[in-house]
Amino acid sequence: GAGVSQSPSNKVTEKGKDVELRCDPISGHTALYWYRQSLGQGLEFLIYFQGNSAPDKSGLPSDRFSAERTGGSVSTLTIQRTQQEDSAVYLCASSFPPGELFFGEGSRLTVL
Amino acid sequence: AQSVTQLGSHVSVSEGALVLLRCNYSSSVPPYLFWYVQYPNQGLQLLLKYTSAATLVKGINGFEAEFKKSETSFHLTKPSAHMSDAAEYFCAVSGGGKLIFGQGTELSVKP
C-alpha cells in the first residue's frame, strides 16, 4: 500500500484479555517501530526492528508486551493480560534508514 | 543517551501572530533532529529535519527551525499563524536507530 497501515483502528477489550495489534509497513522499508501515545505522555518508544538484526526491545514496559516481525514485513504487537493503564494509541512507523519515519494512524486501545 | 525537552505543553497564539515552539535536546553525538505534526485524529507527519547541513531548516507549511549547538536548541517558528496550524507538535532526536520524542506541544490558534 501507499502508507503504513494499522489494524484494528479501535479496540475495546476487558481487563485481563490479550490483544494483538497489526502493522503493515511501507513496502521496501527495512525498519519498523512501535510507539505508544497516552494522554499527556507524549510518544513513548516501545520496540524497533531493523532488517535481520535483533530488535531493540528497550522500551517495552513489561513482559506482558511483545512484538514480532514476520518475513521482514508485517509486525504484530501483543499485549497479554491487559490492564487499564495499557489504554492508549499504539502507533507504528516504518522507514528506510536514515530516512524519515512514516507513521500509521494508530490503533486506539481501550481496556475496560 | 539522547533526550528531548519541549517547553510548554500548550501554546496559544492569535491568528497572524508569531508561532514559537521550544525544543531542547541532549545528545552525546552530533544529533539528527526532527519536528513532526499531528493534526486531530490523524497520524504524525514530518514537518522538517536537521541532518547536519544548514542550521536553518525550512519545512512544510511555512515552518522553519534553527539548530543552535551552543544552546542545544531546535526551536520551531512560523512568522504568521493560521487557523489550520492548530495541532500537536513533537520534537524528536535520533538515537540508536530510533527517534526519541518530546512530550509534545499543543498549539491553539485564536481567531
Cβ–Cβ below 8 Å for B99 and A33: yes
Q: Higher pLDDT residue, A40 or A28? A: A28
Kindly give, in sequence order, each residue whose CB lies less than 8 Å from that of residue A62, ignoring residues fewer than 6 positions away. none
Contact call for B101 and A45, based on CB within 8 A: yes
Average pLDDT by stretches of 10, chain B with 111 residues:
91 97 90 93 91 89 94 96 96 89 95 94
The mean pLDDT value for A49-78 works out to 93
pLDDT at A49 over 60: yes
H/E/C letters for each residue in B35-97? Answer: EEEECCCCCEEEEEEECCCCCEEECHHHCEEEEECCCCEEEEEECCCCHHHCEEEEEEEEECC
**Cross-chain Cβ contact B102/A42 below 8 Å:** yes
Whether the pLDDT of residue A40 is over 90: the answer is no
Which residues of chain A make contact with B98, given a CB cutoff of 8 A? 33, 45, 48, 56
Q: Could you give the CA distance from residue B65 to residue B24 in angstroms, rounded to a whole number? A: 12
pLDDT (average), residues A12-27: 97
Q: Does residue A84 carry a pLDDT above 80? A: yes
CB A109 within 8 A of CB A90: yes
Strands B73-78 vs B87-95: parallel, antiparallel or unpaired:
unpaired
Report CA B50 to chain centroid distance, whole Å: 11
Position B53 scores a pLDDT of 77
Per DSSP bridges, beta strands B44-50 and B98-101 are: unpaired
| DSSP codes of every residue in A21-43 | EEEE--TT--EEEEEEEETTTEE
Predicted local distance difference test score (pLDDT) of residue A2: 79
| Whole-Å CA distances, B67 to A38, A92, B60 | 28, 28, 17
What phi and psi, each to the nearest 5 degrees, are found at residue A91?
-110, 135
**A78 with A66: CB under 8 angstroms?**
yes
On the question of pLDDT at A107 being above 70, the answer is yes
Rg (C-alpha) for chain A, rounded Å, is 13
pLDDT digits (tens, 9 = 90+) for B15-35: 999 999 999 999 888 889 999
| Preferred mutation among A100, A102, A107 to probe B, highest tally of B CBs within 10 A | A100
CA distance A16 to chain B (A): 28
The pLDDT of A48-62, averaged and rounded, is 92
Distance CA B108, CA B88 (A): 9
Check A43 against B43: CB less than 8 A apart.
no
pLDDT band at A1 (very low <50, low <70, confident <90, very high): low
Chain B's closest residue to A45, CA to CA, is: B100
